[in-house]
Structure 1
Amino acid sequence: MSEHNISATSRKDEGKGASRRLRHAGLIPAVIYGGEAAPQSIQLEHEKTWLASQHEWFYSSILDLNVDGKVQKVLLRDLQRHPFKQILMHIDFQRVDENKALRTAVPLHFVNEDKSPAGKSAEVVVTHELNEVVVECLPKDLPEFIEIDLSDLAVGAIVHLSDLKLPAGVSIPELKLGKEHDLAVVIAKHGKEEAEAAAPAAAEVPASKVTKKDQK
């Protein structure tokens, strides 16, 4: 598990007015919650945090959040963006207990698709049904992503959740709910099959009823 450091400072002013002032000053209002400690209001530098938010790890990894010189292990739980400006409006972080299992979404990375029998065929459409998966593990075992090697993907093949190779100590809670929860992750179909599945079935047009009035 890689280390990712984020710096912040504590704040006492709260409310919409205080948040607006922070944003005008190039800062982001945020809060840390969870664990045995009380929720804590903090602020982060917008420019540095914006750059961090462009990376995948910001959303799926455990972050070392340094608040006033004290480091806390946290996960990003919510991020509010401005509707059309490149501005982060508010962030929620959740404290992580290193001795307790956690559940969080982890991105899927697909590799070697172009080298596979399905990927080499111009007549085959390969679809990624999922781009992330919720895993359960101790914080120390949390992967930044799960890699799916598609080098052997055959035409007509389906890769399910149960086919994923997980790191030690990592499980997928969805699979504990039954076979019907073993979702498809990747599907390789002939383009013709894909088109037929997408096209609506031709409906039979019933013959119009002829009334006595029409026969006159």
Structure 2
Amino acid sequence: MLSESSVGQSVGHVRSVRVDALASIGRIVEAAREALRRSSSATLNRIAEDAGVGIATLYRHFPNRESLAAAVMDRVWAEDVRPLLQEFGSSNASRDDLLSVAERVVGVFEAERGVVQALRNLPALVVDHLAQDASLRDTVARAQAVGNLRPDLESDDVPSLLAMVTTLPFILDAAPEERRRYLSLFLDGLNPARAVPLPARSAGEER
């Protein structure tokens, strides 16, 4: 039978291992984010080296490149996207507010292009994150109440619609003026009764 001191030492060891593992995961995710910002082709070996861990440690936590990229996107979402959604949730939920948050979310994905390219299921991840945002449903309802969104739109539609428009490669690759034009057109579909003239293209984009 183990003594109380032995049990205490065992528990302390487990906690220490967990803390060390969490620290390793944090370093790996941060190193991966920085490496993928520099190059979408950054290798796992290079990421492990930048994180100061062995490649075996990296694989123990992330069995493949996509699982690591998904963890990086989780961090990007928590640090850069969720604050935008919280800001939108405290706004008047106007068309301009929605256009602004959509543009800024696209801007985040553009800045994290290496991570985006490493993910095969980015739209699904975005839908999942948006669906978990408890404030989004209330914001949609508030926008509908004042006529900023069409009344037949269901709150469950919004995550898929926003994921669709903010993760399209065409949108990510577009110049700012062109991006704003197409996002604006998308928003008019959410409330055609309040459609506004589309933003003009810049001179270099005229076809």
TM norm structure 1: 0.27
Instruction: Choose 1 or 2 for highest CA Rg.
Output: 1
Task: Identify the structure with the greater helix proportion.
Answer: 2
TM norm structure 2: 0.27
Task: Identify the structure with the greater strand proportion.
Answer: 1
